[in-house]
């Protein structure tokens, strides 16, 4: 089995039921999630050895987060215990023309205050095949950025392939702050993943097309993919393309460039959307799994796109689907008939 390591912050997610607004809520549904944790769960569901690295408090809320990962088969051996709190985020689901909304309560979380020397990097990356991180982790604090850099250096020292989902979050840092930090981390990255906003805000590359109005031109990405590869030496660059007609109705496809060829996935119509949070993470998990298993860029891209399309039908951050279910959709079985 392949050993895949992800590093980041797992948080407690509190959401009003259904499409209720925060101001209407009298109770909240509680689940756990977070960019790299979501990737680890996807990979574990596909049968990979997924290891999640973070720091969590030693109290019951920290343990509940650990248990949420273990439930899906994610290895938690390298999670450091300590600190005062687990990060929280509040998530309001959008509907029709009303967008979803996220409010963070994560300042001073255990992982945001963690030091690189608290982690045994040699043990973490011993025998590892892949390391994945996202731009959220260096955005949460200066210590988060230092921790990400230390992890990238350790991964490279052990000959591990590194992927990054750029994942720009404007509520965590500015474009200038993001570009200053992320451009210093990019030389350690082999596979760069991100949508049009991520590429623009984190690295300064802007594709053609009015993405704010849900209009994307796949060919508009070709130039920036070449520029990104030339500037940072990536082996591959991948991006999801979301056609956002409303919060409930999206088109979905993806692109990948390996330095020689551009690959484009099937297009999916997703309507109505159940929960779009974690859609990008499920794409990352699917792409990593596909590249490691089949070594075929087109097949890996199709698997990742189908997996992320399915995520839009699943409540919560985690993509609770199997490899078989993804392959069924990827191979054209998307009619939703009851399986008996």
Q: Mind telling me the catalytic residues?
A: 281
Query: In angstroms, what CA-CA distances link 129 with 95, 169, 170, 288?
Result: 40, 28, 32, 10
Judged by phi (left if over 0) then psi (alpha if -120 to 50, else beta), residue 259 lies in left
H or E element at residue 176: helix 175-185
Helix (H, G, I), strand (E, B) or coil at 5: strand
Query: How many CA atoms, within 13 angstroms, populate the side-chain half-sphere of residue 101?
Result: 10
Query: In angstroms, what CA-CA distances link 78 with 14, 119, 131?
Result: 26, 8, 14
* CA–CA separation, 43 and 177 (whole Å): 31
Neighbour count for residue 142 (Cβ, 10 Å): 10
Q: Which residues contact 337 (CB under 8 A, 6 or more apart)?
A: none
Q: Determine phi and psi for 217, rounding to 5 degrees.
A: -115, 115
Opening angle at CA 85, ends 317 and 142, nearest 5: 85
């Amino acid at each position: 089995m392949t050993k895949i390591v992800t590093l980041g912050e797992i948080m407690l997610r509190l959401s009003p039921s259904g499409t209720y607004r925060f101001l209407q809520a009298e109770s909240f549904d509680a689940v756990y999630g977070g960019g790299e944790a979501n990737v680890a769960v996807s990979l574990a569901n596909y049968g990979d050895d997924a290891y999640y690295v973070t720091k969590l408090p030693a109290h019951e809320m920290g343990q509940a987060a650990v248990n949420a990962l273990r439930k899906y088969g994610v290895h938690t051996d390298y999670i450091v215990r300590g600190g005062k709190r687990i990060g929280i985020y509040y998530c309001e689901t959008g509907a029709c023309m009303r967008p979803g909304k996220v409010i963070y309560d994560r300042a001073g979380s255990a992982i945001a205050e963690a030091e690189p020397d608290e982690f045994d990097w040699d043990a973490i990356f011993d025998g590892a095949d892949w390391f994945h991180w996202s731009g959220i982790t260096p955005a949460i604090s200066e210590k988060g950025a230092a921790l990400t850099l230390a992890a990238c250096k350790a991964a490279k020292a052990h000959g591990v392939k590194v992927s990054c989902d750029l994942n720009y979050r404007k509520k965590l840092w500015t474009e200038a702050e993001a570009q200053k930090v992320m451009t210093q981390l990019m030389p350690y990255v082999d596979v760069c993943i991100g949508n049009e906003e991520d590429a623009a805000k984190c690295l300064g590359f802007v594709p053609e097309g009015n993405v704010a109005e849900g209009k994307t031109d796949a060919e508009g990405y070709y130039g920036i993919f070449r520029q990104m590869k030339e500037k940072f030496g990536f082996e591959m660059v991948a991006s999801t393309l979301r056609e956002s007609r409303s919060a409930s109705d999206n088109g979905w496809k993806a692109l990948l460039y390996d330095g020689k060829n551009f690959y484009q996935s099937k297009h999916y119509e997703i309507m109505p959307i159940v929960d779009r949070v974690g859609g990008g993470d499920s794409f990352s998990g699917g792409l990593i799994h596909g590249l490691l298993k089949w070594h075929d860029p087109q097949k890996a891209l199709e698997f990742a796109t189908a997996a992320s399309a399915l995520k839009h039908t699943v409540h919560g951050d985690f993509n609770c689907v199997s490899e078989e279910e993804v392959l069924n959709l990827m191979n054209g079985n998307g009619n939703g008939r009851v399986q008996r």
